[in-house]
Amino acid sequence: MTIIKICGIKTLKDALAAIEAGTDYLGFNFYPKSVRFIEKSACAEITSVLKREHPQIKLVGVFVNSSVEEIKDILAICSLDLAQLHGDETPEMVASFNGKAFKAVRLSSSESFDPSIFVRESVTESVDNPAMLIDAAVKGVYGGSGVTADWASAAKLAKKYPLLLAGGLTPENVADAVRQVQPWGVDVASGVESAPGEKDAEKMKAFVRAVQSGSQNSRSNYSLFSTIEVL
């Protein structure tokens, strides 16, 4: 089964619609320059309902170059399960969250970069969280660009790590992405919106259906990840 994360949630209505559509993870964006930015007080109101009524849904905070202290504060106030570090954070910073954070890596086919610096070996045999998120490399943009990531490079990494594939995914192309990359999970924001920052319930349902369609033909053997754990 391919995990689905719908990111950039700003309202309880959108959160509930995403859950009804079949998402597994919800993302809340704390980068002030993003059109999907949410204040921590507003997020806390939403997550208090979600934790009570839908405790099975994993809740993720998205941060860009925030301090460790600020991130941990928001994680606690908003009852979030994980931090997605989408800026220029170091491996040491990721490690400071003791498995409660993962790094977003912007891959470019023209650049050589080893994302394995953000993961480490472990004897853990279960894969509960992603080791990393793969996004498109767009100059001056920290995500949510709508540009497709480098699927070929992502596919190579997906054979080694439980990764979330992001970058320009839509109901129209995500089935192909799942078949080609075979990721642990997929992440979408702009691809299921009717306007920037406004989720579309029908697009979210279509996205989930497409992921399920692609997954049926490309099941990955995640027991291969028995030696990987998020830093």
Range of the domain at 208: 3-230
- What are the contacts of 189-193 at 24+ separation with CB within 8 A? 189/6, 189/7, 189/8, 189/27, 189/36, 189/143, 189/144, 190/8, 190/144, 190/145, 190/146, 191/146, 192/6, 193/8
Of the candidates 14, 78, 135, 187, the residue annotated as catalytic is 135
- Residue 78 annotated to the active site: no
146 or 231, which is more confident?
146
CATH of the domain at 102: 3.20.20.70
Report pLDDT digits (tens) over 125-174.
446 789 999 987 555 555 555 667 789 889 999 999 999 999 999 999 99
Instruction: Kindly give the pairing relationship between strand 228-230 and strand 119-121.
Output: antiparallel
Q: Has 135 been annotated as catalytic?
A: yes
Q: What is the pLDDT of residues 14-66, one digit of tens each?
A: 999 999 999 999 999 999 999 999 999 999 999 999 999 999 999 999 999 99
- From the candidates 7, 14, 78, 150, which is the catalytic residue? 7
Instruction: Give the chain's domain count.
Output: 1
